[in-house]
Amino acid sequence: MTSATLRHAGWILRGNPLTAVAAAGVVLLALVGIFGPWIAPYDPIVSNVSQALSPPSAAHIAGTDQLGRDVFSRLIVATRLDLAIAVSAVGISFALGAVIGAICGYAGGRLDRAVGRFVDVLMAFPLFVLAMAMVAALGNRVENIVIATAIINLPFYIRFARAEVNVRRNLGWVEAARACGDSHISVVLRFLLPNVLPAMAVQMSLNLGWAILNAAGLSFIGLGVKPPTPEWGIMVAEGARFISTGKWWLVAFPGLALMLAVLCFNLLGDGIRDILDPRMRT
């Protein structure tokens, strides 16, 4: 990151306030994720039955749940778990996918076809169903949610990196690198990957949102995270029982948290694309 890049980022953020807001949102999410347990006004686990199911008020701004726990505190504490699952899953698939995809896209041939087949098989499953099956097979635990989410993301990264490398592998500057004495491996690692990573970073940011929804979906149907652990998906699942009696806040606030988190990552992804595209720099 040179100072020119930073200056460019600053210029982009000024010209694109939405990205700035999204970036601020992501920073805020990270802070809440780190310091959540200390800033939550109430204990997220201890129940207080006398206060059960009270609507939003000054004392409990997001209301309380069926055990009288403060919904707002639970939302704050849940941030860390939700982010950790999404970030680690996307990180794993990003690292693996970029390298595998870049090598396949550059080398082509038998390896490429074999990996292509594997990706085809993974993509032949509806991905959420695949994640569900994997959690069931590996065991109903949080780490397995991470692994399952990483695996269902993997095909996208492989395909993306593969395609991006493939269109570039016959460009003049790639051939020039070889004429200048670089080996194939060096061309892939030092030339092609750095050129492909910005586009993949955008993909990663967009995928983080998707991974959050996915993990929340899995815990909504009762996989992975177990109550009373606060987690956004589980909170919606617990609140679902009370929706037809009008206890909207149990669903709406965790839903809002999910929505805002995903929105921030998506908007940031679009913004990063503008920042990293050097052609927009003047």
From the number of C-beta atoms within 10 Å of its C-beta (0-12, 13-18, 19+), residue 27 rates as: exposed
Q: Check binding of 130 to another protein (CB under 8 A).
A: yes
CB of residue 50 to another protein, shortest distance in Å? 25
Q: Check binding of 171 to another protein (CB under 8 A).
A: yes
Q: Quick check: 265 and 206 in contact, CB under 8 A?
A: yes
Q: Dihedral (C-alpha) 135, 91, 265, 25: value to the nearest 10 degrees? A: 110
**Residue in 169, 153, 164, 170 with CA at minimum distance from that of residue 101:** 164
The single residue among 98, 236, 268, 272 that binds another protein, judged by CB under 8 A, is 236
Window of 39-47, 52-60, 73-81, 181-189 that interacts with another protein by CB under 8 A: 181-189
Give the chain's largest Cα–Cα span.
77
- Measured CA to CA, the distance from residue 13 to residue 109 in angstroms comes to 43
CB of residue 261 to another protein, shortest distance in Å? 8
Beta bridge partners of 70: 64
Cα distances (Å, whole numbers) of residue 85 to 68, 90, 173:
27, 9, 39
CB atoms within 10 A of CB 87: 17
Q: Quick check: 270 and 202 in contact, CB under 8 A?
A: yes
From the number of C-beta atoms within 10 Å of its C-beta (0-12, 13-18, 19+), residue 58 rates as: exposed
Q: Is the dihedral of CA 238, 241, 243, 247 positive or negative?
A: negative
Q: Check binding of 226 to another protein (CB under 8 A).
A: no
The single residue among 239, 271, 272, 273 that binds another protein, judged by CB under 8 A, is 239
Nearer to another protein, 45 or 259 (CB): 259
CB of residue 124 to another protein, shortest distance in Å? 5
The single residue among 67, 99, 125, 147 that binds another protein, judged by CB under 8 A, is 125
The single residue among 30, 53, 177, 189 that binds another protein, judged by CB under 8 A, is 177
The single residue among 21, 128, 189, 201 that binds another protein, judged by CB under 8 A, is 128
Q: Check binding of 178 to another protein (CB under 8 A).
A: yes
Q: Quick check: 80 and 33 in contact, CB under 8 A?
A: yes
Query: Which residues in 63-122 contact another protein (CB under 8 A)?
Result: 117-118, 120-122
Nearer to another protein, 42 or 64 (CB): 64
* Count of residues that interact with another protein, criterion CB under 8 A: 69
Q: Check binding of 213 to another protein (CB under 8 A).
A: yes
Window of 45-53, 71-79, 80-88, 166-174 that interacts with another protein by CB under 8 A: 166-174
The residue ranges that bind another protein (CB under 8 A) are 117-118, 120-130, 132-134, 136-139, 171-173, 175-184, 191, 194-195, 209, 213, 216-217, 220-223, 233, 236-237, 239-240, 243-246, 248, 251-252, 254-255, 258-260, 262-263, 266-267, 278-279, 281-282
